[in-house]
């Protein structure tokens, strides 16, 4: 049920409409709703290897339609998209995290999508379409790729030490300890660690990594009321239990890599480099790990359950149609191509120079395991289908994730800290942010 619009919400919607109007006025050359000439500007958050794959997809689109693409892979995406929005000159199309939808929509950056008019939209599940809905119930994006996190383990290290595949949190912690203390690579040096953790507060990374364990422990971040309001669910025994377990890893020497609390994902390369043996991560890393440390050295394992199950973080990317574009027909044509079986399969492929940019296809006629002929991806698909959760996408969850990351980071930095008090403080911060968004009951 949608929440009745309050006075503050009405003001926010009017402000977003003003931004949308300003962007449209700036972006249009001739007022033609069908679009004017020139290439379609498309952005993705991508380094070189995934950008190679995106380029293949866009080349196929141009060959099929004749529409040229001006493609820009952007690593510092958040900073640069903010700059383009400030200058009222958004890209025509951008592909980025599904969790960013609430942030983008609240700022008026997105053109609404008529789901029923999208050719191929019927092949996308209702669950995936739901991740593109705003608080008003309208759709503000089109799903492109989905994934569930998985646990990867150095199989050769585990077998060198004669240890079984971990089946519980306790097993996982014991394996981390063995990797840190028992010389699993056999080089006679004390130079290996247990888990890789991107634990910085930057972009809320620690909350992102910890979310699966919080859900597995019985905790949560927010709950939605029947009237469309939200409130914190963080201050619970399940969250406390999960954070206690996470803290145990940080405060046991060697269980996590050095400098984890200041490390981003780009800096957390200890699994690649043979310095650490366990990583809870997205399956987009599998192609890189096949190269280094090598496909035969590691394994993707079923999620070791916590006290309340095996739930893993689900996330993915949406196609966003930038507000202000005068190329509306071309925007939609590209989006429809991107969700087609042809494009989804191109985007799932990889070679020495590229990485997949569709992890699990959103098109229900495409089977990830069959396309890749890889049982590891069947495990990813099974995890996504059966036991995964995503952060709320309709609300602006970014500052909430940031507040959680900052609170957890402070708790992990002080091994004498009071977890119950820390969790309660984080919960208060979440409610304060929800109040700022006029979402608190």
- 336 & 348 share domain: yes
DSSP state of 393: S
Can you state the percent helix, strand and coil of the chain, rounding each to 5? 45, 15, 35
53 & 133 share domain: yes
Is residue 51 situated within a structural domain? yes
Residues 109, 20 within the same domain? yes
Confidence of residue 37 (pLDDT cuts 50, 70, 90): low
Tokens at residue 117, please? 């008019």
Domain identity same for 430 and 344: no
- 291 part of a folded domain: no
- The DSSP-derived string for 129-191 is HHTTB-TTS-B--EEEEEEE-EEEEEHHHHHHTT-PPP-SHHHHHHHHHHHHHS-TT-SSSS-
Cα-Cα-Cα-Cα torsion 350, 354, 357, 360, nearest 10 degrees, comes to 20
Domain-embedded: residue 1: no
Q: Is the pLDDT of residue 7 over 60?
A: no
Using the Cα atoms of residue 216, residue 220, residue 224 and residue 226 in order, give the sign of their dihedral: positive
- Do 58 and 178 sit in the same domain of this protein? no
Answer yes or no: do 357 and 416 share one domain. no
Q: What is the pLDDT of residue 351?
A: 75
List, for residues 394-414, the tens digit of each pLDDT value.
Answer: 999 999 999 999 999 999 999
Given a cut of 50, is residue 35 above it in pLDDT?
no
- Asked if residue 5 has pLDDT above 90, the reply is no
What percent of the chain is modeled with pLDDT above 90? 85
Place of tokens 């705003």: 134
pLDDT at 32 over 90: no
Please give the pLDDT value at position 23: 57
Model confidence pLDDT, tens digit, residues 120-134: 999 999 999 999 999
Does 62 reside within a domain?
A: yes
Whether the per-residue pLDDT at 29 is higher than 60: the answer is no
Residue 237 CA to residue 182 CA, distance in Å, equals 34
Compute the average pLDDT of residues 50-69: 97
Domain shared by 321 and 418, yes or no: no
Task: Write out pLDDT tens, residues 152-173.
Answer: 999 999 999 999 999 999 999 9
Strands 312-321 and 93-97 turn out to be antiparallel
Same domain, 112 and 156: no
Q: Write the CATH number for 96.
A: 3.40.190.10
> Is residue 100 over pLDDT 60?
yes
Phi, psi of 196 (to 5 degrees): -95, 130
Residue 305 structure tokens:
């359950």
Residues 401 and 368 in one domain: no
129 and 160 in a single domain? The answer is no
pLDDT at 368: 87
Per-residue confidence band for 353, with pLDDT thresholds at 50, 70 and 90 = confident
Confidence (pLDDT) at 271: 98
Query: How many domains does the chain contain in total?
Result: 2
pLDDT band at 355 (very low <50, low <70, confident <90, very high): confident
| Torsion angles phi and psi, residue 74, rounded to 5 | -125, 120
The predicted pLDDT at position 273 comes to 97
Does 200 reside within a domain?
Answer: yes
pLDDT tops 70 at residue 383: yes
pLDDT digits (tens, 9 = 90+) for 416-434: 999 999 999 999 999 999 9
Of 350, 365, 389, the position where a domain reaches its end is 389
Is 303 a member of any domain?
no
* Of 95, 86, 85, the residue nearest 44 (C-alpha): 95
The answer to whether residue 310 sits within a structural domain is: no
Query: How far apart are alpha carbons 434 and 399 in whole angstroms?
Result: 9
Per DSSP bridges, beta strands 276-281 and 150-154 are antiparallel
Q: Are residues 218 and 168 in the same domain?
A: yes
Mark whether 78 and 157 lie in a shared domain.
no
Domain span including residue 253: 150-281+397-436
Residue 20 in this model has a pLDDT that exceeds 70: no
Q: Given pLDDT bands bounded at 50, 70 and 90, which one contains residue 349?
A: confident
Q: Is residue 21 part of a domain?
A: yes
pLDDT band at 309 (very low <50, low <70, confident <90, very high): very high
Rounded distance between C-alpha atoms, residue 329 and residue 293, angstroms: 45
């Amino acid at each position: 049920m949608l929440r009745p619009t309050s006075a503050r919400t009405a003001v926010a919607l009017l402000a977003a409409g003003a931004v949308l109007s300003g962007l449209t006025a700036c972006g249009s050359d001739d007022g033609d709703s069908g679009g004017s000439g020139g290439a379609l500007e498309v952005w993705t958050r991508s380094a070189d290897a995934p950008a190679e794959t995106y380029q293949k997809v866009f080349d196929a689109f141009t060959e099929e339609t004749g529409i040229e693409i001006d493609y820009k892979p952007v690593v510092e995406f958040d900073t640069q998209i903010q700059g383009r929005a400030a200058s009222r000159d958004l890209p025509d199309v951008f592909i980025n995290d599904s969790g960013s939808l609430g942030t983008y929509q609240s700022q008026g950056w997105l053109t609404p999508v008529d789901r029923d008019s999208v050719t191929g939209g019927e092949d996308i599940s209702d669950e995936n379409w739901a991740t593109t809905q705003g608080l008003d119930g309208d759709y503000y994006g089109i799903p492109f790729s989905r994934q569930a996190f998985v646990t990867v383990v150095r199989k050769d290290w585990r077998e060198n030490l004669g240890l079984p595949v971990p089946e519980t949190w306790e097993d996982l912690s014991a394996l981390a300890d063995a990797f840190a203390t028992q010389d699993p690579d056999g080089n006679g040096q004390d130079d290996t660690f247990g888990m890789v953790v991107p634990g910085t507060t930057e972009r809320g990374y620690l909350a992102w990594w910890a979310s699966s364990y919080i859900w597995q422990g019985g905790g949560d971040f927010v709950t939605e009321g029947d009237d469309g309001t939200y409130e914190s669910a963080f201050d619970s025994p399940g969250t406390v239990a999960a954070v206690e377990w996470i803290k145990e890893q940080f405060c046991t020497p060697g269980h996590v890599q050095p400098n984890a609390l200041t490390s981003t994902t780009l800096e957390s390369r200890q699994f690649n480099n043979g310095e650490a043996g366990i990583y809870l991560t997205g399956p987009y890393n599998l192609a890189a790990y096949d190269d280094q440390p090598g496909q035969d050295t590691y394994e993707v394992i079923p999620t070791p359950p916590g006290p309340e199950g095996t739930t893993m973080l689900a996330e993915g990317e949406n196609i966003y149609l930038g507000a202000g574009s005068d190329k509306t027909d071309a925007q939609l044509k590209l989006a429809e191509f991107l969700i087609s079986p042809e494009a989804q399969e191109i985007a799932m492929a990889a070679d020495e120079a590229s990485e997949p940019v569709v992890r699990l296809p959103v098109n229900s006629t495409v089977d990830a395991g069959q396309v890749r002929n890889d049982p590891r991806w069947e495990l990813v698909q099974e995890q996504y289908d059966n036991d995964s959760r995503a952060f709320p996408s309709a609300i602006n969850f970014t500052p909430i994730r940031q507040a959680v990351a900052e609170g957890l980071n402070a708790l992990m930095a002080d091994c004498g800290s009071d977890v119950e008090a820390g969790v309660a403080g984080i919960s208060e911060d979440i409610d304060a942010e929800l109040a700022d968004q006029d979402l608190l009951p």
